[in-house]
Amino acid sequence: MISSEARWGGGVTLLLFILIFLPLVAVLANVVIPGLFFGRVEFQGLNLLGDIFVRPLWRQSLWNSVSLAFGVATLGTVLGGALAMIRAQWDFAVGRLLDVTAWALLIVPSFMLAQGWVLFASRDGLMNQWLGWEWLPTAVFQPSGLVVVMALSKFPLAYLAIVAAMEWNVKQFGQAAQLCGAGPFTVWRTVQLPLLAPSFIAGWTLVFMDTVGDFGLPAALSTVYKFPTLTYSIYSAIYQSPVRFDMAGVLAFYLVLILTVAMALLMLAMRRSRFDFLNARAIKTIKRKPRHAWVLNTIVGVFLLICLGIPIGTSTLFSFMRHAGEGLSIGNLTLEHYFSLFGQNGGDHRLLGYKEGLLHSLLIAAIAAVLSMIIGFVVAYVLAFTESRFKSAIQLFSIVSLAVPGVVLGIGYIFIWNQKWLEPIGLHLYGSPSLLVLSAVAGSIPYAVRMQLGAFASVSGSMLKAAAIQGAGVFDRMTQIVMPLVRQSLLIATLTAFGTSIFDLALASMLQPPNYVLMPLVIDRAFEFGRYGYATAATVVSGGMVVLLIVVLQAAGNWIFRRIDGDRR
């Protein structure tokens, strides 16, 4: 039994190392030896790292990424924290809509949200056309404006972290402060807020890391505003002539360094402070009806309309407009952009290949979803039910994937899989759809693992020990005992991986095979070339189709589970 568990642990460790950790090591090694992966071994030490403070583009990219992330993390945490406290304490109608909107903002790709904001606030945008707001482009397309726009889409990370921490409370601390004469604000400032510090720190760190690694916003902004960031400069270095692998490696190194420091600060803050305040007297937070519920509903409703309604609503409106500059009039309304997606009008839009790109993206996402679910299941089993000596390494590799942006993962895959010596053995994967599948699996594994670990916590290990005593091997225990008990989490993990993989613009941009169309790139390039109607129609169709597929597949899975349970009875 021990040797079998060791083989499973060693196998998934090796797999995670190849998929996740090796590409990261390759990126960092390229900084010291720039030609290592292309037959030109030139050891340069760490001198190249200092060039980021000398070369204007490199320096500006670093400054833009760090300053933007600090601003977005701070504002996003303030917004998310305020909304979380309101949601945890008050029962109001728009509260449920707030939860739905938070998850929607997390699922919708950032480049689609950014495109909506560009169409809303640019000089040719909706507000300038309708209301003549000439001040709006200047207000939005500058650093502080970008902070606000990104905070409106990133705040759910902080909101969900903080609202989960407020599910339980210990009232006697606040009551003791009130007995000493403290007012409501003093109780909140000196008691409640310090106790929620870990969730605020976690929320701030999550928003910071997500902003630093974001590729969608700079990709969408490149059409109207020059704001180089580390992620977009890495992409530009790979796709310029000549290719600048040295530049890409250095910028990727600093990107990983920033994310590592952020995670280290989070761990240090948690380790140096004690926040274990929940005890036997803790009670579940009971939400109260607000005295003036309409005020709360109005304020939160308007905020949600700005966060989600502006980008999604603007994109939807543009998808029905024949010419963007003629406004929303009866004569300017059309469905031709939707017809052109599938080549029914014979126009130039067919050259963008949306139908082909959608099929490719659906296929890659489906394969990646199934594979990541299987790998995540095995990883979660090893972590939860075995004593494998590889558990620490497995934890490390799965966590690292959360912190590594798609752009860095993509360049690492180029370094590893674009090697001539791999051709004779059939593993030269660069330039093939297989590499897109592997990269999508690598990006989905950490989510699949964590979703399934939560379900595994409810499975008693005694059942597995009893089965092992009866001679059941590891594979039998996985498939015959654990899998039927956690099948719902397997379905959710698969659907989550599918939804996140299909819209990954960063990996699609870095690893797109020649003459192989992908749906996110079709949308991004149509937007870049000013074909806003086509791009927005593709956004609406793609988003609606993916949501519909997820809903249908989840319903079908639940129906199958009920039928299986009925047959067993």
Q: What is the pLDDT of residue 283?
A: 46
pLDDT over 50 (residue 403): yes
Which structure tokens are listed for 186?
Answer: 């003093």
**Whether the predicted pLDDT of 457 surpasses 50:** yes
Number of helices (H), then strands (E), belonging to the chain: the values are: 29, 2
* pLDDT tens digits along 76-95: 999 988 888 888 778 778 88
Could you report the per-residue pLDDT of 212-271, keeping only the tens digit for each?
A: 888 888 778 777 788 888 888 888 877 766 667 777 778 888 888 888 888 777 777 666
Q: Is the pLDDT of residue 34 over 70?
A: no
Expressed in percent and rounded to 5, the helix, strand and coil fractions of the chain are 75, 0, 20
Q: What domains can be seen in the chain, in order of their start residue?
A: 2-21+348-568 (1.10.3720.10), 48-170+203-334 (1.10.3720.10)
Task: Give CA–CA dist 80/101, Å, rounded.
Answer: 12
Whether 478 shows a pLDDT value over 90: the answer reads no
pLDDT score, position 346:
40
Higher pLDDT, 509 or 450: 509
**205 Cβ contact partners less than 8 Å away, ≥ 6 residues apart:** 73, 262, 263, 265, 266
What integer is the mean pLDDT of 160-189?
A: 58
Alpha-carbon distance of 559 to 552, in angstroms, equals 10
Q: What is the pLDDT of residue 350?
A: 44
What's the mean pLDDT when you consider all of the chain? 78
Alpha-carbon torsion angle 189, 192, 196, 201, nearest 10: 0
CA dihedral defined by 116, 118, 122, 124, rounded to 10 degrees?
Answer: -60
pLDDT for residue 563 is more than 50: yes
Q: Is pLDDT of 72 > 90?
A: yes
Model confidence at 349, pLDDT cuts 50, 70, 90, reads: very low
320 close to 333: Cβ distance less than 8 angstroms: yes
Check residue 184 and give its pLDDT.
57
CA–CA dist 409, 401 (Å, integer): 9
* Cβ-Cβ contacts under 8 Å for 458 (sequence gap 6 or more): 485
Two tokens, residue 217? 């916003």
pLDDT of residue 347: 44
Helix or strand holding residue 168 (H, E): strand 168-169
**CA-to-CA dists, residue 190 to 80, 182, 193, 203, 253, angstroms:** 20, 9, 6, 20, 40
Chain centroid to CA 28 = 23
Question: Can you give the three-state secondary structure of 485-547, one letter per residue?
Answer: HCHHHHHHHHHHHHHHHHCCHHHHHHHCCCCCCCHHHHHHHHHHCCCHHHHHHHHHHHHHHHH
More confident residue, 449 or 275: 449
51 or 347: which carries more pLDDT confidence?
51
Higher pLDDT, 517 or 170: 517
513: preceding bond cis by omega (within 30 degrees):
no
